[in-house]
Structure 1
Amino acid sequence: MTTDNTGNSTRLYRRRNVLKSGAAGAATLALAGCIGGGDGGDGSGGGGNGGMADSVTVPGIYDESGATSDVGRPTAIGSRDTITYINENDLFDVSIDHPNNDYAYEVPQAQQYYQQYTSESSPPLIIGWGTADTEALAGTVADDEVVYVSASYSANLVTEEFPYNFFGNLDYTSQARAHLRWIADNDPEATVGFIFSNTAFGRSPVEGGKQYAEELGLDVAPDINLPLTANSATTQLRQARDQEIDYLIHQNTSAPMRVLLEDRQDIYPDLTVCGLTYTVDERVVQQSPDIFEGVRYVNAFRTFQGALDSGGRGAEIIEANFEREGRSMDDPEIAQLNYVRGVIHALLALKGMQNAAEAGNDVTSGPNVRQGMFGIEDDDMFGLAEPFSYEAGDRRPTMNGRLFEVTDGSLSFDTSVELPRRDSWIGL
């Protein structure tokens, strides 16, 4: 069970009649008239089909068997389930085709699937996954003008160099900054350290996070590496103990997090571990409540139970998905926050295309859908997340971090941290 019941989650999706103007505005508006708009003010219907497109292809590239599949599989299921819901409940007048494959966290395989999808159907948008593969494809998707909604929250992806990348969370570095802000406010004499896998994903928040820690006046210890495939963390914990680290900020997935916490009990039980978005979920907390006790966590969207408690359209979607597929709400392998993450990815795709359709533009065009993404403004994803807004010059969806603490086997909401929206943090 989780406790995540703060904020107003009942606000329905508010679509704008006029999209923000941006660098691509003139080009996209030139395609007006392809698909007309209906009212759809609560997000329950898309624009009217002007006859030009009966379906749109939105492929998926997921990790369901590789190094990050512990969190990748429930995310993939959440996206697939929600695209089925969108099609079956007429949230969009154009049917969404969703071919998808498991790339097993292998960059060349992701690139191969991308080439396959783009050569077969010229999709306007793709739902992707990890940092290494998303960054490897970022230049290509920009050249091909394909919107790429991924589960990588690398700050590098929202720079001007990669204008077609979008994600739905606080970026990795700012997740670390949220933890650091809390530490500085509550334990200003503390020493902090960063532990992470030596991958593009693992390294992504470290440099910017350390800079902010120093700005806050916190002592920063040398970095510690913990591989995604680690089966022991004794050496790393001895390093943390010897460096007298009070708070260890961990960028990894839930499997190495469990390894770290299991060894912490014997080597350095006084250490507080602060996990970023993929390190903690309801499944691992329920399986190992004792070792997760006291762990801190950050995210910008709700836990699974928090999503259900929100009472909004997002809760309705999740409940309908589980009923339709015969899934158990008591199975934390799927009924967890990573499933909510997948739902949000599908909703981002939907809302970008809805906005394009409402502007009278062809939703099979990547530039049109990109412009539609900028129509997402102060949108809480049907009650599932902190409000997201995208602008042409700033594609960071939010600067608000939701901090949680594991207490008595529950992932409990603690407080929110609102970070400054500094231009100097774009890409760092």
Structure 2
Amino acid sequence: MSSEKNIVNLSRRRAIQAGLGAAAISGFPLRASIAQTGDIVIGAAMPITGVFAFAGVGLNQGLSDYCDWRNARGGVAGRRLRYIAEDSSYKMDQEMAIFKKLMGEHKPAVFFGGSTAWAKVAAKEVGQLGTTLTSGVSFASELADAKTHPYHFMVAPTYVAMGEILLEHISRSARGATKPAVAIVYSDTEFGRDPIPGIKAKAQALQIPVVMEVVTKPGAVDVSSEVAKLRRAKPDFVIFHGYVSAPIPEFIKQMREAGMKATPMGTIWSMDKTTVDTMGAAAEGWMGVMPYRYSYDTKDAPMMQAMKEHVAKARPDMSYASIFNVHTWLAGMAIAEVLERCLKAGKPLNGANMRAALESIDKWDTGGVTGLPVSLKNHQITSGRIYAYDGKTKLLQPASDWIQTS
């Protein structure tokens, strides 16, 4: 019997003795590490159809594009990246089925998923296996906790950190001794509620008064009573979180009709150009936080230029690469950096080694995708920049320097 089979059998016996039968019945073969020769598989469950197809298509394209671009340049330490993705339609059961299927059939070194719920469940499976890193679309705060999610990372700040960047910008922009007042409007969802305690704590630390909290359902809802509350509270800034678009445009429209001068601000998923374009007149003055550049911002950013050129060749009819494309291109870069560090050190591609490689990334130059060098020691990127919509150019333009959170 080969040494690899001995390791597998020993791992199975230890798992059973420890009462970890869930990994065995899930359909995953227990392995000490990912194969050390041949292609390196990156698996993904992407919401290519369904309610989040507007994001899923770009997410799928971005990671696929980066793998193609990297392979054309020799891959990672001479090994080809093989990207295998299936459509989850943003359905949890479907996402988990794809995850288990691809884990069993293709043994990916890294798996990219599309929801917070998936990441939480997958963390248990991946923790038992110890073979695979995971990443995804969610920036929920708990997913950046290396104690509970040791093999998961994100290539953006958490939602809490995004709120902190917004507040840092507000604080730095203040004139005089009095700090501007802030209101927070968020959706009654896990996504919406996630950063609110952290945002309030940061506001208190910066001595920024939070004069109103408003909670709504996501989507098209009647916001007239909520706007009346905001008008009475008289905030200087209104931070929206937990939405992609609606009901943000309606809030802004009614706020302006009520004579409010407050500046509306958002977080990442309400900051794509195509999303902001749909706001119409409400887009004027819209601001928000982004952890990386827009695809049209290529000055002094050679990797953004490389992505733009690759997309132009791969999809000549695509005039704009969305923030979803940029997000997964950067995820691909981070994955390749982790893999390369392991392989150049002669270490097997297993969870422990890839996690160590991930946490060794410090002062990493992303070629301008991010404005500051990146550290992934804490499993997240902790910087971003404020952008504002310009009605004349119909582009989101920088409105601040790059801001680093603690």
The Cα shift of 1:289 comes to 5.1
Paired with 1:258 and 1:322, the residues of 2 have a C-alpha distance of 32
Paired with 2:125 and 2:264, the residues of 1 have a C-alpha distance of 37
Contact 1:138–1:157 (8 Å) recurs in 2: no
The 1:87/1:260 distance shift into structure 2, 3 A limit, reads farther
Residue of 188, 191, 195 corresponding to 1:201: 191
Contact 2:65–2:310 (8 Å) recurs in 1: no
* Residues 1:177 and 2:161 aligned together: no
- Alignment match, 2:114: 129
- Alignment match, 1:7: none
* Residues 1:239 and 2:229 aligned together: yes
The Cα shift of 1:177 comes to 1.0
1:29-178 pair list within 5 angstroms:
52-92=36-76, 93-145=78-130, 146-159=132-145, 160-178=147-165
The 1:91/1:269 distance shift into structure 2, 3 A limit, reads farther
- Alignment match, 2:334: 348
Contact 2:161–2:405 (8 Å) recurs in 1: no
* Residues 1:285 and 2:285 aligned together: no
Bigger mean CA offset, 54-63 vs 68-77: 68-77
1:141 match: secondary structure = helix
Q: Which has the higher contact order (CA 8 A, sep 6+)?
A: 1
Asked which structure has the greater CA Rg, the reply is: 2
Paired with 2:121 and 2:362, the residues of 1 have a C-alpha distance of 28
- Per-residue CA deviations over 1:177-211 (Å, capped at 9, x if unaligned) read 11112223334443212222222222221110011
Contact 1:70–1:255 (8 Å) recurs in 2: no
Amino acid at match of 2:109: P
Paired with 1:252 and 1:69, the residues of 2 have a C-alpha distance of 17
Contact 1:310–1:384 (8 Å) recurs in 2: no
- Per-residue CA deviations over 1:258-315 (Å, capped at 9, x if unaligned) read 4543444435652321111111122133444531111121122111111x33341342
- Alignment match, 1:318: 308
Amino acid at match of 1:350: A
- Per-residue CA deviations over 1:38-67 (Å, capped at 9, x if unaligned) read xxxxxxxxxxxxx94111221112223344
Contact 2:193–2:242 (8 Å) recurs in 1: no
* Residues 1:230 and 2:213 aligned together: no
Bigger mean CA offset, 84-93 vs 345-354: 84-93
Residue of 257, 260, 263 corresponding to 1:272: 263
Paired with 2:197 and 2:52, the residues of 1 have a C-alpha distance of 23
Contact 2:44–2:111 (8 Å) recurs in 1: yes
Paired with 2:404 and 2:52, the residues of 1 have a C-alpha distance of 28
The 1:417/1:371 distance shift into structure 2, 3 A limit, reads same
Residue of 361, 365, 375 corresponding to 1:376: 361
Amino acid at match of 1:346: G
- Alignment match, 1:410: 395
The Cα shift of 1:344 comes to 0.6
- Alignment match, 1:395: 379
Give structure 2 stretches of 5+ with no counterpart: 1-34
1:298-337 pair list within 5 angstroms:
298-306=289-297, 308-329=298-319, 332=320, 335-337=321-323
Contact 1:83–1:96 (8 Å) recurs in 2: yes
Paired with 1:135 and 1:52, the residues of 2 have a C-alpha distance of 28
1:165 match: secondary structure = coil
The 1:286/1:326 distance shift into structure 2, 3 A limit, reads same
- Alignment match, 2:18: none
Paired with 2:168 and 2:44, the residues of 1 have a C-alpha distance of 35
The 1:396/1:99 distance shift into structure 2, 3 A limit, reads closer
Bigger mean CA offset, 179-188 vs 157-166: 179-188
The Cα shift of 1:346 comes to 1.3
- Per-residue CA deviations over 1:365-401 (Å, capped at 9, x if unaligned) read 333322222342212322211321122xx32332x32
Paired with 1:235 and 1:84, the residues of 2 have a C-alpha distance of 51
Paired with 2:105 and 2:397, the residues of 1 have a C-alpha distance of 45
Contact 2:164–2:405 (8 Å) recurs in 1: no
Paired with 2:48 and 2:245, the residues of 1 have a C-alpha distance of 14
- Alignment match, 1:27: none
Paired with 1:336 and 1:310, the residues of 2 have a C-alpha distance of 19
State the Cα RMSD in Å.
2.4
- Per-residue CA deviations over 1:107-128 (Å, capped at 9, x if unaligned) read 2322222222222223221112
- Per-residue CA deviations over 1:130-184 (Å, capped at 9, x if unaligned) read 3333234333332333211222222211221111111111221111111112223
| Identity percentage of aligned residues | 18
The 1:320/1:420 distance shift into structure 2, 3 A limit, reads closer
Amino acid at match of 1:315: Q
The size of the alignment, in residue pairs, is 362
- Per-residue CA deviations over 1:194-235 (Å, capped at 9, x if unaligned) read 222222222221110011112222222343223333355434
Contact 1:107–1:136 (8 Å) recurs in 2: no
- Per-residue CA deviations over 1:329-363 (Å, capped at 9, x if unaligned) read 2xx4xx23322112111111111111111111233
- Alignment match, 2:24: none
The 1:99/1:153 distance shift into structure 2, 3 A limit, reads same
Give structure 1 stretches of 5+ with no counterpart: 1-50, 422-428
The 1:416/1:323 distance shift into structure 2, 3 A limit, reads same
